[in-house]
Structures are given as C-alpha cells and as structure tokens.
Structure 1
Amino acid sequence: MRRGLVLLLTGLALAMSPATQASAAPPAPAPTPAPAPTQHAPAVRVLAYRAPVGPTTPAAPISPSAPVNINVNVNGQNRPGNSLVILLGITLLWVLPALLLVCTPFTKVFMVLGIARNALGLTSMPPNQVIAGLALFISMFIMGPTLQQMNQQGLQPYLNGQKSQSQAFHDGIQPLREFMYKATRNDEIALMVKVSGQPTPANKDDLPLTTLVPAFVLSELRAAFIIGFVIFVPFIIIDMVVSASLMSLGMMMLPPVTVALPFKLLLFVLVNGWSLIITALVASYG
C-alpha cells in the first residue's frame, strides 16, 4: 500500500511540472505567407526602320573672308547683342586716348596753352592738369557738330540694327574725315602721299586714313607753333625793355625775369589774353 501511494504522488508531480504543461498545450497556428507581387512583362516599343541619310552639300558655301555680323532679334528688330556692344565699348575706351591726340584739336590746343604759360614766365602755374582739362573741353566744343553727325550717321543706325558693322563704320567716319581734311594743308597731304610711295588719289574720298591722320597731325603742330610765336613776341619785347632798363640803372644783380613778370601779367590781363587765345583757336577751324 505504501508503494502504491508513492507511485501515485510521483505521477501527480510529473503531471504538474512546466515541461508537461508545455507539451500538453496545443500547437500555435503557422503564419500565412504574403502573396507574391504580380510581375508585368516589360512593354516592347517597336521602332520603324529609317534608312540613313547621306551628307548634303550647301548650295552656296560661305567664304572664309566674308564679314560675320552677330545680331540679336529683339522685338522684331535686328540689333547687336549686349556682349558685342560691351566689347565695342571697351575697345573704344582703349583707343580713345590715341584718337583724342591724333584726330582732334587736343594736341594743338594743349601746345598753345603751354606756350602761353611759358611765355608768361610761369613754369608750373596753371598746372598741367588744368591745361589738359581746358584743352579737352575746348576740343569737345570744336568737335561737337562732328561728333553729333558721327552719332547720327553711324552709331545710332548700327545700334538700332539698321546698318551693318562695316556700313556703319564707313558712314560714321565720313564726318571725321571731312573735319580733318578741312584742317589739313595740301602740302602735308602731298608729303605723306610722296613718302608712302602710293599713287596720288583722284579725290579726297580716296585718301586713306593712314595718310590723312599723320598729315592732319603735322598741320596741327605747324599751326600751334605759329600761334605760339605770335604769343611770344610781345612778352619778349617786355623782357628786352626791362633788361635794358636794369642795365642802364646799374642793377645787374637783379634778375630781369623777376622784374618783368608783373608787367607780363598786367599786359596779359589788360588785353584779356585767355579770351584772345581761345578765340584764335576756335576760329582756326572755321
């Protein structure tokens, strides 16, 4: 009986253990697999066959020496591009000092004003900056009508797309050529034609700029020296009178230039010298 009781207790213990409970639990249901995505076959595009086209020859080949114009059509008008206008402006600023010296009255006016200053005995007054500025504005005053014609005949039609670059240059340079030709002596033109070894042009329109520009500069230098000589004569007379007076008084140690300077300034102010010089310069160009 004791042995049967022991077997009964052992069976109860085994029945209440966790391993036995786990084995007695019903199995969990297996997870349902997700449906596989449907794969569509890629669309196949059928292209029509085209026969290759051979190279074609242009009807009129472009000559390498033909002029090329870069224009932009803005609001129905054919105008040059902004980049081309900027390039032309920079180029003009680069050559502007040379054009100012050789194609305008600047050189002549500057030389005459400098000679007048030296004739008075003043080496640094007025300063070179003042003389250069005055010569620049006098040159602009003289060249005013010519510059206006160049703007109307060449620059504005080109910017508005009415003329090509070569045509605008040819038409715009004509007023400047006319101005330089009128201010140039025939002797200087004949000299430059002879030195260049080229045949004599039939008329002034056939005269190249490479001959007209140096002839114009030579004429300007000649005219400046003539005006300077006329300015120097009265001041030299004052120097001679003052020097002879000091010699007669025995004041040989006193510089004649110092004594003559006030009389020169007085004479220059009384005759209104600056007005006479400017009038003579402007009148020399008609």
Structure 2
Amino acid sequence: MILRGIVFLIGVLLCVILASPAFAAGAIAETVVRTAAPATGVETEVTRTALVLTLLAIVPAFIVSSTSFLRIVVVLAMVRHAFGMPQTPPNIVLTSLALFMTAFLMAPTLNQVNDQGLSPFMDGTASMEEAMDGASGPIKTFMLQHTRERDIELVYSIAKEPLPATAQEVELLKLVPAFIMNELRVAFTIGFVILLPFLLIDLVVASILLSLGMMMVPPQTISLPIKVLMFILIDGWSLVLEGLLGSFG
C-alpha cells in the first residue's frame, strides 16, 4: 500500500534519529534476549524485525535505482537550471515533488509488492525467500517495461555473460544498471527539449543588447524575468509534470 511505503520512509528518519549510543545499547540487549528465546513458527519475530530494519536502510537506494524517481528528479533539476537559478526551487521542494509523483506512478506496483511479498511475510504465511521472490516480481516487470534491449545487451556484454533466452530470466543485478541508463537517456532527452526555448530567449536577449551597444549589461538580468513570465503564461509546471507522467505510459 502507498501508506505503508510512506511509513517505511518515515521509519528511515526515525532510525537515524534513534541511532544514539544509549538506544543502540538497549536495542542490542533486547535483541540478545529475544534471540535466546526459542523460535516459533516459520520465521521468528527477531528475523522479521531484522529484515524490516534492513529494508528500511536500503529504501533510499531502492527508490533512486528501481522506480520512476530518477527520471523525474533529473528532469525537474534541468528545468531549474534552464532558468539560470540553480537554487530555486530548493532541493527539498524538487525532491518532495519527485517522491510524491513516484508514489503516484508506482502505486500499482507497490500494491503488488505489498500483496505478494510484504504482507505474507509479516503474517507468517511465507518464508523470507518466498517473500523476496514475490516482492521482486512486480519491480522487475516495471523495470523491464522501461528498459531497452540494447541497454541490457550492453550490461551483459560488459559482464561477458550470454544473454538470457527470455526477458523474465534477466538477472536483477544486471537489470538495474540497464534501467538506470535508460532512465538517464529519457530524462536528458526531455531536458533537451525543455532547454531549447530558454536558450532561444537567452540568444535573442543577448543579440538585442549587443545591437544596442549595451555590452556591459548581463543578458541574464534581462532574460530571467522574460523566461519566468513565459513559463507562467504557458503553465509550464503543469506541462512538465504532464509530460513526465505521459513518458511512463
């Protein structure tokens, strides 16, 4: 569920805040006591807790490398640089927007991960291996839908291994870098289209200033308000977000 994914992200922050020496000592003592107790069921409570904490630690890397977050945040950063304002909007604003858009786009996949992997494991009806296999299936399917065969072939050629017979046989460790390369390619393609109108405005303003003999006036001083006004008039943020959502169709 999306709410559970948000809880996971909050849990990462809580783990960082609570990682004090006193808290760590108490956690270690409690873990030792629980480990000494006899195990019951398919997986013990200690094993489940350890796995959940491990997942919380790798959630940021998972979000960046295996979801739509990478493409979205790169495009939003390029929009910011197109204006010539590298600090506006702030990083926290762009990251938050990218996270919520990622949650919106990945909602069906995250629901499948929860139904096929997380929930059965937390309920004790599936082992750790079964939960990992069930959870990785929807993620793998999503990445295969947005990865070119050329990128997968490149990764396997670098690894000097033969290509698998079917797409489902592609190893996850080789699919992730291929997926990242494709996301960067698409993000830079979208960013190039976005940069062109802003570059045209800069060239026109620079030419006008040069023809008027105002060589001491920085073109950025004149072009920045014009670019911001143009972006507002065409409702630029809506167009960018709509284009990003459409690129995953």
Q: Normalising by structure 2, what TM-score?
A: 0.82
Aligned to 2:248: 285
The answer on 1:173 being equivalent to 2:139 is no
Residue of structure 1 aligned with 2:196, choices 233, 246, 265: 233
Residue of structure 2 aligned with 1:219, choices 157, 182, 199: 182
Structure 2 SS opposite 1:222 = helix
Map 1:1-286 → 2, pairs under 5 A: 72-73=40-41, 80-286=43-249
Deviations 1:213-254 (A, max 9, x none): 000000011111101100000000001111111111111111
Q: 1:216 and 1:71, CA in 2 relative to 1: closer, same or farther beyond 3 A?
A: farther
Counterpart-to-counterpart distance in 1, 2:39 and 2:98: 38
1:160, CA displacement in angstroms?
2.1
| Residue identity (%) | 42
Counterpart-to-counterpart distance in 2, 1:172 and 1:111: 27
Over aligned residues, Cα RMSD in angstroms? 1.4
- Provide structure 2 residue ranges, at least 5 long, that are not aligned to the other structure: 1-37
Match of 1:218, as an amino acid?
M
Structure 2 SS opposite 1:72 = coil
1:112, CA displacement in angstroms?
0.6
Structure 2 SS opposite 1:285 = coil
Q: 1:71 and 1:185, CA in 2 relative to 1: closer, same or farther beyond 3 A?
A: farther
RCO comparison, higher one (Cα < 8 Å, 6+): 2
1:177, CA displacement in angstroms?
0.2
Structure ranking higher in helix proportion: 2
Counterpart-to-counterpart distance in 2, 1:154 and 1:71: 22
Counterpart-to-counterpart distance in 2, 1:153 and 1:278: 30
Counterpart-to-counterpart distance in 2, 1:147 and 1:165: 18
Counterpart-to-counterpart distance in 2, 1:140 and 1:262: 33
Counterpart-to-counterpart distance in 1, 2:124 and 2:214: 75
Deviations 1:83-142 (A, max 9, x none): 222111110111111111111121211111110001011121111111111111111111
Counterpart-to-counterpart distance in 2, 1:95 and 1:219: 22
- Report runs of 4+ in structure 1 exceeding 6 Å deviation: none
Counterpart-to-counterpart distance in 2, 1:235 and 1:208: 41
1:162, CA displacement in angstroms?
2.3
- Provide structure 1 residue ranges, at least 5 long, that are not aligned to the other structure: 1-69
Counterpart-to-counterpart distance in 1, 2:205 and 2:39: 70
Structure 1 SS opposite 2:107 = helix
Aligned to 2:11: none
Aligned to 1:13: none
